[in-house]
Amino acid sequence: MNPLTAKSIPALARYSRYSLVEISLEEAEKSASVFTKLYPDAARAAGEHADKMRAAGVEVSPLAGLPVSIKDLIDIAGETTLAGSTVLRGTAPAKSDAPVVKRLRIAGAAIVGKTNMTEFAYSGVGLNPHYGTPANPADKTLARIPGGSSSGAAVSVATGLCVAAIGSDTGGSIRIPAALCGIVGFKPTARRVPTAGTVPLSPTLDTICAMTRSVDDCILVDSIIADTPPSIPDLPLAGVRLAVPQTVTLDGLDPHVAAAFSAALSSLSSAGAKIVDVPFGLLAEAADLNKFSGPESFAWHRGLLARHEAEYDFRVARRIKMGESMSAADYIDMHRKRRDWITRMEEALGPFDSLIMPTVPMVAPPIAELEGSEDAFFKANSLLLRNPSTINLLDGCAVSLPCHAEGTLPVGLMVAGPAMSDRKILAVARAIEHTLQAR
């Protein structure tokens, strides 16, 4: 059995870090479309160094020497950052590691490689025609989408290739694949983690985040990339007020998702949580306000599109070009309306400890179904982004954690709150995780 499939990082304490890196690299070589680049020498060196320090009695970071993956829109020194594309081939390599990579290296992490992704992070589905689409490991009989845009990142954790993956989230790109692949994904308040050294999608909404196999592991990795203390106080679930929005977020749920979410709510209520159904009509405004990605991505891509549009994934190019038509006045007005919406949302959230909802309303559809039909692709993409993107618009934070029964297709439960409530949301998510695992 691969020890990297353990439930949490502390369970790996007895293993040689070098041996875990070797397992990661060996399995990564056999895993189709998960990685676009491997760094075996540097990863082995990090594992060996961690083992020597531990043998000498030196206290090291819990992440020291453990395999971690990096999404291919984050700079690693000496490498051209491709962001899941081919159009950036031949451009200058990164002069230095992105700040998040530097922080991981300081913590001793063994960075084993860069992970595949939706081209330029522009979809929640995870298809990539250039480097292939990694299959969702939750179904061994049918190739299903992994979710996106952090597709390879999620699969690298779900299959035990890494203990953690660093990705990005602009409208759900961490939480969507975490939900579909049955792992934990945390979108922090965007300003807490530097986005320097990354290929942007929407600077207004972009967030750098972590995926792991447990909430505690997410707390650890987030503390490293955000450069904050890792301690989160325990929060008893009894008495915690959880708001279940009735507007938009529960519409059109797949029956399996609806059943898993309902069962989770019952378990949380039995544990003493106060489940409150709330209209939250403000959520109906989100779709019209959340249109930053189009104009902001077009501003970055317009030169590349003029020269290389034929080399783009046509689905990505189509969405980026939609941003060309927005006027400067409309763009400025959208920012003003967003600020007003955030103020009203934060006031509505005041009586509650967190929002709680299905991360996405569906289980992972088959890859072939979405590759073969534009209509199916864009319909699925819209549904996948619907719930998580509201938290990006809110400038908030959110955790997606598994809530499905073992042996069934993964379903994510999202715990969310306003900006800078990260510690509280993580504490609530951990309490919910413990309750659901005890079922």
DSSP string, 236-275: -STT-EEEEE-SSTTTT--HHHHHHHHHHHHHHHHTT-EE
What is the crossing angle of helices 215-226 and 99-106, to 10°? 110
In order of their start, the domains of the chain are: 3-226 (3.90.1300.10), 241-289+330-437 (3.90.1300.10)
| Mean per-residue pLDDT, 184-190 | 98
- Could you read off the pLDDT of 424-435 as tens digits, one per residue? 999 999 999 999
Q: Does residue 149 have an active-site annotation?
A: yes
- Could you read off the pLDDT of 110-165 as tens digits, one per residue? 999 999 999 999 999 999 999 999 999 999 999 999 999 999 999 999 999 999 99
Give φ, ψ of 242 to 5 degrees.
-115, 120
pLDDT at site 9: 98
Contact in structure between 265 and 355 (CB atoms under 8 Å): no
Residue of 150, 173, 223, 354 marked catalytic: 173
Contact in structure between 126 and 57 (CB atoms under 8 Å): no
Could you tell me the strand order of the sheet in which 412-417 lies?
Answer: 35-38, 110-115, 67-71, 164-168, 208-212, 184-187, 397-402, 412-417, 354-358, 241-245, 274-278
| Mean per-residue pLDDT, 297-307 | 97
The rounded mean pLDDT for the chain is 98
Percentage with pLDDT > 90 across the chain: 100
Q: Binning pLDDT at 50, 70 and 90, where does residue 220 land?
A: very high
- Could you read off the pLDDT of 349-406 as tens digits, one per residue? 999 999 999 999 999 999 999 999 999 999 999 999 999 999 999 999 999 999 999 9
Q: DSSP H helical segments within 107-173, as ranges?
A: 151-158
Residue of 69, 149, 202, 400 marked catalytic: 149
Q: Does residue 173 have an active-site annotation?
A: yes
Q: Distance between CA 119 and CA 138 in Å, rounded?
A: 23
- Could you read off the pLDDT of 246-278 as tens digits, one per residue? 999 999 999 999 999 999 999 999 999 999 999
Query: What is the token pair recorded at 218?
Result: 């997410």
pLDDT at site 266: 98
Residue of 33, 61, 71, 291 marked catalytic: 71
Percentage with pLDDT > 70 across the chain: 100
Q: Does residue 293 have an active-site annotation?
A: no
Span between the terminal Cα atoms of the chain, in Å: 25
| Mean per-residue pLDDT, 10-22 | 98
pTM for this predicted structure: 0.98
| Mean per-residue pLDDT, 68-94 | 97
| Mean per-residue pLDDT, 91-101 | 98
pLDDT at site 215: 98
pLDDT at site 1: 86
pLDDT at site 438: 93
